[in-house]
Amino acid sequence: MIKVNMNKINTIDYLLKSSEDIWQKYYYHPFVKGIEQGNLDKNKFRYYIIQDFLYLEEYLKVFSIGIAKSTSIDTIKLFSKSLFSIVENEMSIHSGYMGKFKISKDELRKTKRELDNISYTSYMLRIAYEESEVEIISAILSCALSYELIARKMIKDNPNCINDDFFGKWIKGYSSDEYKNDNRNLINALNTLTENYTDEKLFHLNEIFNNCSKYELLFWNFSWNFNNQNEFL
């Protein structure tokens, strides 16, 4: 078994390092680059917005279970604040685009979740129901942190992308200081709660984080492949 020297690296850095190859695929994925360059097929983006809204409905439940699984007031506050932030901020981004696309509640209700979407949220919910607050945070961070880093990489590669008339709102939302601060709270909690974790426990967190990271890539894939048979793998 490979030893992890946690005196030199904290938990989130260890998880990010172990999933680096997967995350690099996010940054150069054609769907992501299309948002950055402002030339993504809007039908693909429309489909993504619907699927991501359906995803967020289940994602919120993971935070709710995290509240119930919390072993301290601090962690209860962490999950509660994150839950509120998603409802008030992240879902408002989606609502804005749903307005632009004229997506009705009836269309949302009738739209079937992609199989990978179902599998992803089912996996996260299983982790939430069966494991502890620490595993829940590890599962959550694959999604939450990847969106921040993707948006910030977009701005680094193309500073003007944030001013795009259509996609700029998405980029601004996920690169905002408020969104970043929510992620830092999750990261700080994870690092603190795992200070004395054994290698075995860390490897387990790594498995969860990597699985969720792979699901994130699948999400970009099926969004890109809407009316497109070419996969980016």
CA dist., res. 55 & res. 107, Å (int): 15
Catalytic status, residue 216: yes
CA dist., res. 204 & res. 200, Å (int): 6
The answer to whether 54 touches 96, Cβ cutoff 8 Å, is: no
3-state DSSP: the chain helix, strand, coil percent, rounded to 5? 80, 0, 20
Query: How many Cα atoms occupy the beta-carbon half-sphere of 25 within 13 Å?
Result: 15
Residue with tokens 């792979």: 214
Alpha helix segments (H runs only) across 111-161: 115-130, 133-157
Catalytic status, residue 143: yes
CA dist., res. 28 & res. 224, Å (int): 12
- In terms of Cα–Cα distance, which of 85, 227, 192 is closest to 144? 85
Burial class (CB in 10 A: 0-12, 13-18, 19+), 39: exposed
Q: Point out the catalytic residue in the list 143, 207, 212, 231.
A: 143
CA dist., res. 212 & res. 194, Å (int): 19
Residues noted as catalytic: 143, 216
